[in-house]
Amino acid sequence: MNKRPQLLSYIPSLDGIRALSVLAVIVYHANKLWLPGGFLGVEVFFVISGYLITLLLLAESEQSGSISLGQFWMRRFRRLLPALWVLVVGVVVFASLFQREMLGKLRGDVVAALLYGFNWFQIWNGTSYFTSFEFVPLRHLWSLAVEEQFYLVWPLVMLLVAKVGRRKLPSVGVLFFGLSAAVAIYVALTYRSGTISTIDQTPVQFMSLFGHSVSRIDFLFLGTLTRSGGLLLGAALAIWWRPWLLKRSIASTDGSLFDLVGLVGLGVIVAAMFKFHTVIEGTDAGTVGYDFLFRGGFFVVDLASVALIAAAVHPSSFIVSRTLGNPVFVWLGRRSYGFYLFHWPVFQFYRRFAGKALTPYEFVVLVLIALAFTELSFRLVETPVRRGAISQWWREFRAPAYGIDAVKRQRQVLLIAVFSLLPIFGVVSLATAKVQVDEITQNLSDNEGNVVDLLDSGAASAPVVITGTTLVGQAPVAPGSLDGQVIDILAIGDSVMLGAANVLTERGVTVDALKSRPFRQALEIANYMKSINRLGSVVIIHLGTNNTVDAKTLDEIMVPLKDVPLVLFVNVHVPDEARQNANNLLLNEMPSRYENVKVFDWNAVAIAHPEYLYSDQTHIRIEGQKVYADLMMQAIGRP
């Protein structure tokens, strides 16, 4: 049985904090524009876990004089693993039935999830947590991996602490607090500001992990050590703030003070969730990390969480403890683990891509579906397992049975066999599936041979190679060549243009397109081409899919392009990102400021014809690529 030590009674307000935290994370996962810092709910969870697990171990140590490692780990096993297994099996079965092309890429995720090493799997493989155009139904399990790794190690630490004795516990709390601060300092010193791109372009944004290069920001955001600050701070609070001692301490006399402290903590957390930026964001210079988050932001949220928890568990607290301990919050908080487990796969199987924002209607429907799975898991899996139902069933099953009991047992075996068919089918499908590249990645890969890299110093000395369709006596520069000729039609773009590079090249356009290209790189290319006198009659720029741009950058781009007869800016279609409207507003103003500028309204075309786009609503399907190229040629007067 999963019994709580008697010294530590149930604290409803902690479930209230869990409820608010999981709601914040789910809103963020649905549409990060609604709550940019909603991911901080995970950090609050870490502090709660550090506090509660340390309390449980302290209570057991004080009551029995020792800590049973086996019983602790068995309680954690019963609490966490059954629902996780149900989730993973459900994801595998669903993918096997409806999205078989994803099974090969899903296999490693499943193994990592079952071993509770998903965070390190993501770090090592470079499958960044922040990619928006990926199908990753188990991505959210990184945080559970951090907690489970903590649960494996922390009882051993507390076993040593128990040997220290009660008198030295305050000093141990200071030690834990110091370690938490040390983690925050380490993260701040390890983090690097600036643009984040490939290892060749931004080597400072990568680091060595056992001789293997990994993304620095992924390591800091997903790593167990670097995210242990909240767990350690929660542990320090547990040592200083044990509820069974607070009931008879002087600190229990003034509840209003603790209500104030708790409300301040809650206010800081809520403000951070609304005011913090998302972890990485696109700017005109490229993709950058949120500096403040890694340079004290997490620690600030940890301290605010400590203040909120301290008030919530205090026996004299009235406003905070009763508000957070209301029946609705408690109901959701008790199911927060299952809700967190199931919401992300439900979102993913519906929208396919991690970065696709949900509408309010979609959000409500999908949350209700996730809650239904959560309740089924809570009633049929989590609660029975915690109460020892499986052990009891196994004892009964092994006992001799005769007559009617034997018939019932045979029916049980038959039902188990029937219900095992789909999981077995899913596991076999997963084990034998081939890794298939998704259609967007495949399209981009197919087009990489149709572009040139004008900033590559080796391109200038390449031999003359001319292919493609000649327009007005001018051939496009072939991929890999820059032989001194003026480039009549030059197109500069990111992955959206890269996907259509073949059809643009066929129409006489020289394409320099790169995935995740920042807007400011157009300035570098324009300056370089101007300096070697190779700008022709048309320059096309389609950037801003992955990052923002400002008026200053656009004006700087126009300086080397002022003598080009026509500069065509293509506006962007990224409906799930706030930068779409901001970028397009600036681009649409350009013709009124520069006589040689036109704007091709691709956003309007994409809105009118969603069938031209892949399911990410951004990259262009093959049939849409032809329309994209034809309309672009019409816009420059070369139909």
Residue 525 has pLDDT above 80, yes or no: yes
Residues 206, 301: Cα–Cα separation, whole Å: 26
Residues 510, 523: Cα–Cα separation, whole Å: 17
Instruction: Provide the 8-state DSSP code for 507.
Output: T
The tens digit of pLDDT for each residue in 155-209 reads 999 999 988 777 788 999 999 999 999 999 999 999 999 988 888 889 999 999 9
Q: How confident is the model at residue 535 (pLDDT cuts 50, 70, 90)?
A: very high
- Please give the pLDDT value at position 3: 53
In the block, residue with structure tokens 């167990």 = 224
- Per-position DSSP letters for 136-166, written without gaps between them: -TTGGGHHHHHHHHHHHHHHHHHHHHHHH-G
- Please give the pLDDT value at position 64: 85
The overall average pLDDT reported for the chain is: 89
- Please give the pLDDT value at position 584: 95
The tens digit of pLDDT for each residue in 213-237 reads 999 999 999 999 999 999 999 999 9
Angle between helices 103-114 and 118-125 (to 10 degrees): 130
Query: Cα torsion at 554, 560, 562, 566 (round to 10°)?
Result: -80
Average pLDDT over residues 583-611: 95
Query: How many of the other CB atoms lie within 10 Å of CB of 541?
Result: 23
- Please give the pLDDT value at position 4: 54
Residue 426 has pLDDT above 50, yes or no: yes
Q: How confident is the model at residue 430 (pLDDT cuts 50, 70, 90)?
A: very high
Q: How confident is the model at residue 255 (pLDDT cuts 50, 70, 90)?
A: confident
Name the pairing type of β-strands 566-570 and 597-600. parallel
- Please give the pLDDT value at position 474: 45
Residues 506, 120: Cα–Cα separation, whole Å: 44
Instruction: Provide the 8-state DSSP code for 564.
Output: S
Q: Which two tokens stand for residue 616?
A: 């990410």
Angle between helices 103-114 and 69-98 (to 10 degrees): 170
- Please give the pLDDT value at position 133: 66
Residue 459 has pLDDT above 80, yes or no: no
- Please give the pLDDT value at position 305: 97
The tens digit of pLDDT for each residue in 87-99 reads 999 999 999 999 8
* Alpha helices for 461-614 (secondary structure H): 495-498, 501-506, 521-531, 551-558, 579-593, 602-608
The tens digit of pLDDT for each residue in 127-158 reads 776 776 677 899 999 999 999 999 999 999 99
Whole-model pTM? 0.87
The tens digit of pLDDT for each residue in 328-380 reads 999 999 999 999 999 999 999 998 877 788 999 999 999 999 999 999 999 99
For the chain, list the domains and their CATH numbers.
19-432 (no CATH), 441-635 (3.40.50.1110)
* Nearest CA among 11, 68, 26 for reference residue 308: 11
Percent of the chain with pLDDT over 90: 69
Q: Which two tokens stand for residue 476?
A: 């496009």
